[in-house]
Structure 1
Amino acid sequence: MNGFEGELKKRILAIVPHVLVEVPKDDTSNWQQTKKDLSQLEFVQNISPIVEAESLVLSNNALQGVLIQGIEPEQEQHNLVFQHMLNGQLNSLSTTAYQVIIGQSLARKLDVSQGDKIRVVVPAKTIFTPMGRIPVQRIFTIAGIFNMGSQVDDSVIYMHKNDANKLLRVKDDEVSHLRLYLQDAFLAEQVVEKIHQQFPSLTARSWQTSQGTLFSAVKMEKNMIWLMLSLIVAVAAFNIVSALVMVVIDKQGEIAILQTCGMDRAGIVKIFIAQGVINGFWGVALGSFFGVLLALNLNDIMSVLGVNLLGGGYATQSLPVDLQWLDVLTVSGSALLMSFLATLYPAYRASLTQPAEVLSHE
């Protein structure tokens, strides 16, 4: 689950802005000062201007609603999207006008490839023509295709900011939003709160507005797995209870002899607690060792055995294993705690042994 959460974070948050700040409409041409002010905020790693607008893309075979992002390629070199290019390069947006970069899943839906042309239509912007009022539209050439393997690959297209402004009929130096890249995307809400406090005139929203429910679902699944794992360990702990109870019944005579030799109830309790904890320790140690060994070599083991959990369409994709030692320590510590708790009842029962009653039958 850590691996899947990491993959979601990498693939989705590479496309969805960590924090998106809307530039005031009366200040769309003087956004440089706003960018400079925001760059002083804690956790902000980089800021790039973008132009956003909802649009439709049409090919000869299909139509799809997408979000246009007009960018400045020079300021997006660190963007993970453009490190997963299958065809083309990001710099082509600057060298040739009216070029776009789209996701592989969108290219499949539109049945297009690099070099093909698509029509981009902006329904919110219209112009008057002899044929009447029609939406603004323009033909673009596909300069590149990326594949992040996320569900938003088919909902975002990239073009140069100047081309986006021409399409939207605004000045070249205008921007609609500032995209904030953070050191950690999960600090987005803190940054948004600081922006609202220090810059009341700005409107900011984080990625959690659009994608937060998905990560909440992953977190809930992690909690459910933790609950199931706890129940499994609890069932195993009952084996310690039953084993120690049987030992107590079987060793009644020995317990009575120890008591007659001067051992008090606390000593009897310590003996059985020590026995149960030692058994639990060896179980946790061996289980943790083989569990970690299995986790670190899981993909190699599945490859050797020919097991493919993701189906035939993902033959070359491995499971995203992310072993975190804090989780290992938490699980091991919880198992040890359950082992200790499981010894309390048998140890207490052993301490109730009556030497006279037991030895009278010996």
Structure 2
Amino acid sequence: MFQPVNWFIGLRYSQSRSRTGFVSFITFFSIAGILLGVASLITVVSVMNGFENELKTRVLGLVPHITVATSPDDDSVRQSLLTLPEVARVTPLEETEALVQSASGMSGILVQGINPGLEQDSIIASHMIAGSLSDLSPGQYQLVIGQALARKLNANIGDNIRLILPSRTMFTPMGRVPLQRNFKVAGVFNLGSQVDDTVVYLHQADARKIMRKKGSENQLLRIYLHDAFDVTQLMPKLEAQWPTLEMTTWQQSQGTLFSAVKMEKNMMWLMLGLIVAVAAFNIVSALVMVVNDKQGEISILQTMGLNKAGIVQIFITQGMVNGAWGVMLGTGLGLLLTFTLNPMLSLFGINLFGAGYVSQTLPIVLAWSDVGVIVIGAFVMSFVATLYPAYRASQTLPAEVLRNE
């Protein structure tokens, strides 16, 4: 049973100065090490959470969570998919590789034919900086391009640019040449990613025409879920309901990217956790020195009737008080840094991103569950670090110590 007197003595030991300044020096640095380790973990993990969330928003907001090949004449599959509670929206897609050319240059791109009426909630629609997806009309041969591509081609709203499809050909007096057609720029978007330079959007009807697709040829359905990570549970249901349809998931196309981010985050946890562990185990050396310094006092307490368990409790209390100071101050500093990191970077004129990046601030997401894990983990490490010195103190032999005093 933990006695108040043992707690009181341990608390007094944590506040008293050692006879040798070196012990106080080691104690201070063990507290400072835990402080910096906890603060670093909270700040860095919050930034990593922000980047992970940004990646989910940008990549999984654009990349379809599930892709299904269906007939454009049969809308029953799309309507059935929309009835599923996990599904947010389902949009048709035509896709092919092409070249785009203007008077200023040429670039390889990915052409995506969409239904503008079904894309009003898409990430592209919310990042339009000129024009609108609704400006795309069938038969008008218009397209929407990214800001980076518009700069490369020196193209503005209303300009004509040439779309060339190497995979499709047409006969001319000069022989067979790649299919090509002029398109008018109807809109410009800016996602701040590679998509701005590599993808253009047409109306689905225009895309099928230039791709020379017949009415019966399959289109793709892009399925977006409320939570992209529900795809693992949903796929067996879809495959059971439509066993003949070919389906692919974002995990097959983008899974490697997210696995790399997760591994990077785990490695960051490990490295910064080791900093906290090293700092926590500085408590071991500090407490061992305190035990050596307090041999006489320990012996007196034992002769007054304090048992070994009481001695252990005293030094566990002292070590945990030091650990608690480091954890509490580190948590406070970590939260302060997390909430003020972007203002401080702005104050000192530090820009961590290039001019082409949409957001010029660090994406930060503070997860209180992570803070809880960090705090509890630091306390556990501090507790473990006190066990050996406390046990060593309990093995003091009063007769030998007092004989030599």
Deviations 1:176-195 (A, max 9, x none): 11111111123334333432
Residue in structure 1 matched with residue 402 of structure 2 by the alignment: 359
The one-letter code of the counterpart of 1:300 is P
Superposition pairs of residues 176-325 of structure 1, within 5 angstroms: 176-310=219-353, 317-325=360-368
CA contact (8 A) 1:192 1:205 kept: no
The count of aligned residue pairs is 358
Question: What is the letter of the counterpart of residue 239 of structure 2?
Answer: H
Q: Report the secondary structure of 2:404's partner residue.
A: coil
State the AA in 1 paired with 2:258: F
CA contact (8 A) 1:8 1:150 kept: no
Per the alignment, residue 145 of structure 1 pairs with 188
Q: CA deviation at 1:288?
A: 0.6
After superposition, the C-alpha distances for 1:69-96 in whole angstroms (9 at most, x for unaligned) are 1111111110011111111111111387
Residue 60 (structure 2) pairs with residue 13 (structure 1): yes
The counterpart of 2:147, out of the listed 97, 104, 109, is 104
Contact kept, 8 Å, 1:93 with 1:143, in 2: the verdict is: yes
Task: Choose 175-184 or 58-67, whichever is displaced more.
Answer: 58-67
Q: Using the TM superposition, give the Cα deviation of residue 305 of structure 1 relative to its aligned residue in structure 2, in angstroms.
A: 2.4
- Relative contact order higher in (CA < 8 Å, ≥ 6 apart): 2
2:373 corresponds in structure 1 to: 330
Q: Which residue of 1 aligns with 2:163?
A: 120
Checking the alignment, whether the CA contact within 8 Å between 1:118 and 1:139 is kept in structure 2 is: yes
Which secondary structure does the structure 2 equivalent of 1:112 belong to? coil
Question: Hey, what does 2:3 align to over in structure 1?
Answer: none
Q: RMSD of the alignment, in Å?
A: 2.1
- Separation in 1 of the partners of 2:148 and 2:154? 10
Are the aligned partners of 1:308 and 1:315 in contact in 2 as well (CA < 8 Å)? no
Find the aligned partners of 2:312 and 2:156 in 1 and give their Cα distance: 75
The reply on whether 1:33 has 2:80 as its aligned counterpart is: no
Q: Quickly say closer, same or farther: Cα 1:149–1:52, change in 2 above 3 A.
A: same
CA deviation after TM superposition for structure 1 residue 325, in Å: 0.9
User: For residues 328 and 122 of structure 2, what CA distance do their matches in structure 1 show?
Assistant: 43
Structure 1 stretch displaced more, 82-91 or 166-175: 166-175
Matched residues in 1 for 2:359 and 2:254: separation? 27
> Quick check: 1:61–1:110 contact (8 Å CA) kept in 2?
yes
Shift in CA distance, 16/227, structure 1 to aligned 2, threshold 3 Å: same
The question of whether the paired residues in 2 share the 8 Å contact of 1:68 and 1:156 is answered with yes
Alignment partners' CA distance in 2, 1:61 and 1:188:
43
TM-score for both structures, normalised by structure 1? 0.92
Give unpaired runs (5+ residues) of structure 1: none
1:105: Cα distance to partner?
A: 1.9
* Aligned match of 1:68: 111
Matches within 5 A, 1:164-175: 164-170=207-213
- Which stretches in structure 2 are left out of the alignment for 5+ residues? 1-47
Looking at structure 1, the residues matched to 95 and 229 of structure 2 have their Cα atoms a distance apart, in angstroms, of 23
Between structures 1 and 2, the one with greater helix share: 2
Q: Does 1:89 align with 2:132?
A: yes
Could you tell me how far apart the structure 2 residues matched to 1:313 and 1:208 are? 28
**For residues 195 and 355 of structure 2, what CA distance do their matches in structure 1 show?**
23
Range with bigger deviation, 160-169 or 127-136: 127-136
TM-aligned CA distance change 1:336 to 1:232, over 3 Å: same
Q: Contact (CA 8 Å) 2:88, 2:224: kept in 1 or not?
A: yes
Change (3 A) 1:95 1:126: closer
Residues 204-251 of structure 1: CA deviation (Å, up to 9, x unaligned): 112233322222221111111111111110121122112111110111
Moved more, 185-194 or 83-92: 185-194
- Structure 1 residue 104 displacement after superposition: 1.4
